[in-house]
Chains A and B, each alone.
Chain A
Amino acid sequence: MADPTSISDRGDPSYSLEKLGNAMKRFVAWLPALPVLVGIILGFGVCCMMGRVAAASFNFSHFERFFGPIQPQTNFYATASELVSHVRRKIPKDKTLVLIGGASYFRGTGQNPDEVWSRELQNLLGDKYRVVNFAIDQAGMTDFAGAAFQVLAREYPHMIYVANMAPQGNGNDGVDGGETYRYVFWDAYYKHMLYGDLVWQADVTSRQRAQLKTQSGLELHLGKFIDSFTYACDLWSYVGYRYFMTVWNDSFSGEPFRNRRSIIEGGDPNMLNHQRETRLDKEYTATMEERNKGYIQNGTYLDKDGHVLPVTDSWNNTSKQISHLFPADLHKQCLIVILHSNHYFMKSLTPIDWKRYEVMFKASEEACKKAGYPVIQVGHDFSADDYVDAGHFMASGGRKIAHQVADKIKEMGK
């Protein structure tokens, strides 16, 4: 007699899953164990080798600068090997490599890809130089491009790293960068791509020890240590860039598997509208006014005669921090550009505030020089129209930056 429950059981998904599971178990039990183990070692080993090949052969296509789809913010984590490989494959060793690092101000936010300031810089410098823009959103001097600089400076006889910096070194998160991009530094570190003097080494070791005491730091360091043998990040980000993306991101929910190489950065024809909207945004304007006013109170004081003076200890400390960012022998190759913000959003500043502002920038420049870096200030004579918002530059501002930076680079090359 048939089982009265059998008909309903056959339609039950859990019944089908159970049957499938049992079949799988029988299949696996039927296979000999040793060849499975050999296969695991073989598959894993081939992937490790392919990771090394991917790391050495990686280069970005149609690359002008970093943008959303090839940034960590959309789960595309370019490795240190990949950044370095891109430059090695694109730039001959007999050229003077100009690597741009730093934040979105230098990435060229506010400028379209065909008018980005680094392109103008290339035109101004000429064929003897090759400009590569690795600046990326919210990065400090040592972040992301900073790690690539330390590797490439040992390979390119003539190299200059250009990075933006705020006065007082704000945004410089130390020798390994900030939280988002720290992975690039440690990726390079565990792959033995970085080396420096004893002071630099001591700083790196102390940061490593401190980070290993936290859960996220332990994960990062352990992951990058293992990756230095397996090259898993190199292989699978290569696959994601060239063939198919394997990591979900809400920005690409319509095409989750689309390879990132096929995404070309488009232009924005409404930059002037953005500029206008930003100025009309009362909340934004008030926030920026307040931030600028608060910011310039740091590092300066008024003496009893009403003179504005720099706080010497504070600036000495800033200079010391900046000097620890890179190995000492690389300082002279690192051009620090101290950027001025849009004066349009500083209308509430009093004459004393402006004096503080001037003293702060001057002290910042001196702190960089004291640490052994070439330095220039850019933006103090820009008009409000050169900015798209409180800090990012329009194409006109970008061209002005390019001219000033090009002059300084040529001077450094003499």
Chain B
Amino acid sequence: MKTITHFLTHKKIRTLLAVGLGVIIGIFLHYLLYRYSLPSKPFIYVAF
């Protein structure tokens, strides 16, 4: 436990969170390319 807290400094947590957020955005952008190729409505259009 001590090793983990030693490793996870404030700066590293920020960096990891930033990379994680970036990965999510990257996957989302990739998915958007697929969705834009389809002539169908997104779920949100149907829901509201």
Partners in one complex: yes
Please state if B21 and A31 are interface contacts (CB–CB under 8 Å). Answer: yes
User: Is A351 positioned at the interface, with any CB of B under 8 Å from its CB?
Assistant: no
Could you say which of B15, B17, B27, B38 contacts A47, with CB atoms under 8 Å apart? B27
User: Is A68 positioned at the interface, with any CB of B under 8 Å from its CB?
Assistant: no
Q: Would A77 and B38 be within 8 Å (CB), given that A44-B29, A256-B43 are in contact?
A: yes
Please state if B18 and A39 are interface contacts (CB–CB under 8 Å). Answer: yes
Q: Would A42 and B46 be within 8 Å (CB), given that A36-B19, A232-B34 are in contact?
A: no
Could you say which of A34, A38, A223 contacts B37, with CB atoms under 8 Å apart? A223
Please state if B33 and A227 are interface contacts (CB–CB under 8 Å). Answer: yes
User: Is B48 positioned at the interface, with any CB of A under 8 Å from its CB?
Assistant: no
Nearest A residue (CB) for B29: A44
Contacts of B38 in A (CB 8 A): 75, 77, 247
Contacts of A316 in B (CB 8 A): none
Counting chain A residues whose Cβ lies within 8 A of the other chain, the interface size class is 35 or more
Q: Would A43 and B18 be within 8 Å (CB), given that A248-B40, A256-B43 are in contact?
A: no
Could you say which of A31, A47, A237 contacts B26, with CB atoms under 8 Å apart? A47
Interface size on B, residues (CB 8 A): 29
Could you say which of A37, A48, A51, A236 contacts B22, with CB atoms under 8 Å apart? A37
Please state if A75 and B40 are interface contacts (CB–CB under 8 Å). Answer: yes
Nearest B residue (CB) for A223: B37
The distance in angstroms between the C-alpha atoms of A51 and B27, with both chains bound, is 12
What's the count of A-B pairs with C-beta under 8 Å? 108
Please state if A32 and B29 are interface contacts (CB–CB under 8 Å). Answer: no
Contacts of B25 in A (CB 8 A): 36, 39-40, 43
The distance in angstroms between the C-alpha atoms of A256 and B47, with both chains bound, is 12
User: Is A235 positioned at the interface, with any CB of B under 8 Å from its CB?
Assistant: yes
Chain B nearest CB from A318 CB (Å) reads 31
The distance in angstroms between the C-alpha atoms of A227 and B17, with both chains bound, is 29
The distance in angstroms between the C-alpha atoms of A256 and B45, with both chains bound, is 14
Chain B nearest CB from A407 CB (Å) reads 42
Could you say which of A36, A219, A246 contacts B31, with CB atoms under 8 Å apart? A246
Q: Would A40 and B22 be within 8 Å (CB), given that A32-B14, A35-B15, A246-B31 are in contact?
A: yes
Can you list 11 A-B pairs with a CB-CB distance of less than 8 A? A34-B18, A35-B15, A39-B26, A40-B23, A40-B25, A40-B26, A42-B19, A44-B30, A46-B27, A227-B37, A248-B43
Given contacts A36-B18, A43-B24, A227-B33, 13 further A-B contacts (CB under 8 A): A35-B15, A35-B18, A39-B22, A40-B25, A42-B22, A43-B26, A45-B26, A48-B30, A77-B37, A223-B33, A247-B40, A248-B43, A256-B43
